[in-house]
Structure 1
Amino acid sequence: MSFNEETRLVHCYDDDDGYQSVEQLKRQEVTSFEHELWYMTKTSIPLVFTFLLQNSLSTIALIFAGRVGTLEVGGISIGNVTFAVTSAIFIGIATCLDTVCPQAFGAGNYQMVGLYFQRGVAISLMFAVPVVAFWYNSEYLLAFLVKDDDIVHIAAVYLRTMILSLPGYILFECGKKYLQAQGDYVTGQNILFVCAPLNILLNYLFVLKYKFGYIGSPIAIVLSYNIMGLAIFAVICRQNYFGNAQCWHPIKGNVSAIFSNWGPLVALALPGLIMIEAEFFAFEIITVLSARFGNDVLAAQSIVATLQTFFFQLPFSCSVATSNRISHHIGSGNIKNCKIATKATIFGVGSLAGVINFTSLFFGRYKLCSIFNTDPILVNKAARILTVIAMNQVYDVFNVVAAGVLRAQGRQRIGGYLNIVAYYIIGLETAMLLGFKCQMQIQGFWLGIGIGVLFLALSENYYVYTSDWTSIVKRFKVMRQEA
Structure 2
Amino acid sequence: MADPTNTITPLLDDHEVGGDDVGGRKSSSWVQKVIELEELKAQITYALPMIFTNLFIYCIPLTSVMFASHLGQLELAGATLANLSFFDSTANSWATATGFAFMTGLSGALETLCGQGFGAKSYRMLGIHLQSSCIVSLVFTILISIFWFYTEPVFGFIGQDPNISRQAALYIKYQIPGLLADGFLQSILRFCQTQSIVAPLVIFSFVPLVINIGIAYVLVYLAGLGFIGAPIATSISLWIAFVSLGTYVICSDKFKETWTGFSLESFRYVVINLTLSLPSAAMVCLEYWAFEILVFLAGLLPNPEITTSLVAICVNTESISYMLTYGLSAAASTRVSNELGAENVEGAKKATSVTVKLSFVLGLGVVLALLVGHDGWVGLFSNSRVIKEEFAPLTFFLAASITLDSIQGVLSGKIFYFLLNTKHTKNSTFIDRSSQRVRLAARRLGYKFGNVLFNWNAYCSLLWFQVKVVCQGFVDWYDNWDILPMFVTHAYDSFPEVDKAKCFGLKDHETMDEINIIIVFLDF
TM-score for both structures, normalised by structure 1: 0.75
What code does the residue aligned with 1:279 have? E
Q: Distance in 2 between matches of 1:280 and 1:245?
A: 36
User: Does the aligned pair in 2 maintain the 1:272–1:416 contact within 8 Å?
Assistant: no
Structure 1 residue 354, shift from structure 2 partner: 3.0
Distance 2:185 2:126 in 1: 16
| Residues 56 and 275 (structure 1), Cα distance of their counterparts in 2 relative to 1, 3 Å cut | same
SS at match of 1:211: coil
2:228 matched residue in structure 1: 215
Q: Could you list the per-position Cα deviations for residues 311-360 of structure 1 after superposition, in whole angstroms to 9, with x for gaps in the alignment?
A: 22122222233335545667x58473884376246534433343333333
Which residue of 75, 79, 100 maps to 2:82? 79
Distance between the aligned counterparts of 1:328 and 1:111, measured in 2? 23
Which of 256, 260, 263 aligns to 2:269? It is: 260
- Cα–Cα, structure 1 residues 301 and 467, in superposed 2: closer, same or farther, change >3 Å? closer
Partner in structure 2 of residue 385 of structure 1: 394
2:163 and 2:484 map into 1 onto residues whose CA distance is: 46
Contact 2:10/2:339, CA 8 A, preserved across alignment: no
Instruction: Give the AA of the match of 2:60.
Output: L
The one-letter code matched in structure 2 to 1:287 is V
> Quick one: which of 185, 191, 196 aligns to 2:209?
196
Does the Cα contact within 8 Å between 1:102 and 1:324 map onto a contact in 2?
no
2:158 corresponds in structure 1 to 145
The aligned counterpart of 2:176 is 163
Separation in structure 2 between the aligned mates of residue 283 and residue 25 of structure 1, nearest angstrom: 41
Q: Verify the 8 A CA contact 1:181 1:324 in the aligned structure 2.
A: no
Q: Name the counterpart of 1:95.
A: 108
- 1 CA distance for matches of 2:461 and 2:319? 20
CA distance in 2, matches of 1:44, 1:128: 31
Which residue in 1 is equivalent to 2:287? 279
Unmatched segments (≥5 aa) in structure 2: 18-34, 84-92, 417-432, 436-455, 464-482, 502-524
Change (3 A) 1:478 1:405: farther
In structure 1, the partner of 2:242 is: 229
Q: Distance in 1 between matches of 2:397 and 2:408?
A: 17
Equivalent residue number for residue 396 of structure 1: 405
* 1:317 paired residue number: 327
> Are the equivalent residues in 2 in contact too, given 1:271–1:413 (CA < 8 A)?
yes
Which deviates more, 117-126 or 319-328?
Answer: 319-328
Residue in 1 that maps onto 2:369: 360
CA distance in 1, matches of 2:130, 2:221: 39
Which SS does the other structure have where 2:415 is aligned?
helix
**Paired residue secondary structure (2:269):** coil
Alpha-carbon distance in structure 2 between the residues aligned to 1:281 and 1:327:
30
SS in 2 for 1:283: helix
User: Shift of residue 167 of structure 1?
Assistant: 2.9
Say whether residues 1:115 and 2:128 are aligned partners. Answer: yes
Asked if residue 154 in structure 1 is aligned to residue 167 in structure 2, the reply is yes
Alignment of 1:16-31 (within 5 A): 24=8
The answer as to whether partners of 2:9 and 2:339 remain within 8 angstroms in 1 is no
How large is the Cα RMSD of the aligned pairs?
A: 3.8
Q: Is the 8 A contact 1:110 1:246 kept in 2?
A: yes
Q: Is 1:248 the counterpart of 2:274 in the alignment?
A: no
**C-alpha distance in structure 2 between counterparts of 1:305 and 1:278, whole Å:** 16
- Structure 1 gap segments, 5+ residues each: 10-22, 418-461
Q: SS in structure 2 opposite 1:408?
A: coil
Aligned residues with identical type, % of pairs: 21
For the structure 1 residues 334 and 392, does the alpha-carbon distance in structure 2 shift closer, same or farther, using more than 3 Å as the test? same
Separation (CA, whole Å) in 2 of partners of 1:272 and 1:243: 28
What does residue range 22-41 of structure 1 map to in structure 2 within 5 Å?
Answer: 24=8, 32=17, 34=36, 37-41=40-44
TM-score scaled to structure 2, two decimals? Answer: 0.69
Aligned amino acid, residue 282 of structure 2: I
Contact 1:191 1:228 (8 Å CA) reproduced:
yes
Which residue of structure 2 aligns with residue 408 of structure 1?
Answer: 434
Q: Is the contact between residue 47 and residue 331 of structure 2 (CA under 8 Å) also seen in structure 1?
A: yes
Tell me if 1:340 matches 2:349.
yes
Change (3 A) 1:468 1:56: closer
Distance 2:11 2:213 in 1: 50
CA spacing shift, 1:258–1:248, aligned 2, 3 Å: farther
Q: Provide Cα deviations, 1:96-121, integer angstroms capped at 9, x if missing partner.
A: 32344334334433223323322322
Q: Which residue of 1 aligns with 2:73?
A: 70
State the Cα deviation string for residues 296-319 of structure 1 (Å, max 9, x = none). 222222222222222221222222
